Structure 1
Amino acid sequence: MSERVIGPRSGLQWVPLRDAGSTCPAARTTVAAFRSWADSHLTQPKDEMGRDGPVCPYVLPSIRRDLLWLAQVPAADPQPEWMRAIIRDALELYPGLPTGNGSSSSVLRALITIFPNMTDYSLIDEIHDEFKTIFVSHGFMLGQFYPGCDQPGLWNKEFKPLDAPLPMLVVRPMMTTDFPFLVEKPEWADAYVRKFAPTLPAHVRSVMVGRLTSRAASRLPAYQVRPAGESCSTGS
């Protein structure tokens, strides 16, 4: 696959971040705004976040290894069916993206679709809710970001990690730290356990998932301990 990827249904083209502004002059303002947010927020520590380290520790290495792909949808009011086509394309294209210097870099890949002129963000939430399950079933996460998104952070409920200056839908890999965001539904929890404990027999996995999802995620004691290696706070 070439570095630029084009969705077969939507015709939308995702371009590596380093090239996005040069290959599409109309996207330069959007790319500059995204880079500014990444540099000033995502890659920086925030006291209100409730833990040490940058808001998302993966963004800086992703940028350095050219593993972020961006696309801009300039329409202020994109049709829902076109947005569905875009997200279906993203699901299909994401697994084939280059991984940089080997498979160990695959966790750094992200496919980012930006809607810079959108002002009604309800469609972002609608598409996210509609497609999250299928992304999770493939071992991926679909994140919604937009100005004023009030989804709470993991360590501090007052911190809003998905509040961003640009409306976006972001595809990234599922990580072990995503567990609190997936325990809400049995099918999400099953996909999580299947990904990270693939040798478990299906009947054992079913029992585990049933017990995990029978109580609120906030009551699960395992997440009082902060993992050392994966601490991205941008939930989905």
Structure 2
Amino acid sequence: MQWVSLGDTGSSCPAARSTVAAFRSWADSYLTQPSDELGRDGPVCPYVQPSIRRSLLWLAQVPAADPRPMWVRAIVRDALEIYPELPTRNGSSTSVLRALITVFPNLKDHTLIDEIHAEFKTKFVERGSMLGQFYPGCDQPGLWNKDFRPLDAPLPMLVVRGMMTTDFPFLLDKPEWADAYVRKFAPTLPAHVRSVMVGRLTSRPALVPAYEVRPDDESCSTSS
């Protein structure tokens, strides 16, 4: 199996072309369009259109209706290694527009997507990227509107993309995620993001002891 640039449809095997077409249709009709339920202005995903335009989306399919979990794990491990080496088209070493998309067009039991996502998310975050799960009926809430379901997609997918500064709300549940986020972006974090992060971290000292708020009598003063 290999990932093929979405703009290079001639390289796709005939069996995958319908999957590519289905993804493009969803991207054109939904991801690149505004939505009243989104909770903000602009398209559902503002990065998809420029990613497609610059040929920075790569897609592969796993056609099996019931793929063996060990195979899917091997595919995701490959994605973990391949993603940082993808070309950026602009001469820089990284690009937030790159995405590696693995589609499971015939998968019916979507618990496999959730299980693989939960198993591998930390590995991707530690490397400065994100692993997203998409499938019909995915109930993960949106960032701007908690009643919006941005990961509810017509195709089951696992998507690798670069970590962005706007990802901080999704990375505060585990200390290692927050640490990876800070290591990647500090000191370039916007002031409002730093403020929210400090508030969240200091409100959960049991999870992040280094950020514990100390009483006045436990100050760092060296005087006795």
TM-score tier, shorter chain, comes to 0.7 to 0.9
TM-score relative to the length of structure 1: 0.79
SS in 2 for 1:103: coil
Cα-to-partner distance string for 1:107-153 (whole Å, 9 max, x where unaligned): 10000000000000000000000000010000000000000000000
Tell me by how many angstroms 1:213 deviates.
3.4
Structure with greater Cα Rg? 2
- Gap runs ≥5 in structure 1: 1-11, 200-207, 217-236
1:91 maps to amino acid = L
Indicate the SS of the match to 2:131: strand
Letter in 2 for 1:213: L
Aligned length: 199
Structure 1 residue identity aligned to 2:201 = T
Alignment match, 1:94: 83
Give me the TM-score of the superposition, normalised by structure 2. 0.84
Q: Distance in 2 between matches of 1:53 and 1:130?
A: 32
Give the alignment of 1:1-236 within 5 angstroms.
12-20=1-9, 22-103=11-92, 106-197=95-186, 212-213=200-201, 215=203
Q: Is the 8 A contact 1:18 1:66 kept in 2?
A: yes
| Cα distance in 1 between the residues matched to 2:33 and 2:198 | 38
Q: For 1:77, give the aligned amino acid.
A: D
Structure 2 stretches lacking a partner, 5+ long: 189-195, 205-224
CA contact (8 A) 2:4 2:11 kept: no
Higher RCO (CA < 8 A, seq sep 6+): 1
Distance in 2 (CA, whole Å) between partners of 1:211 and 1:187 is 17
The 2-side partners of 1:215 and 1:82 are apart by 41
Identity of aligned residues (%): 78
Secondary structure at the aligned position of 1:169 is classed as: strand
Q: Distance in 1 between matches of 2:6 and 2:136?
A: 21
Cα shift readout 1:177-222 (whole Å, capped 9, x = no counterpart): 00000011111000000000169xxxxxxxx978633548xxxxxx
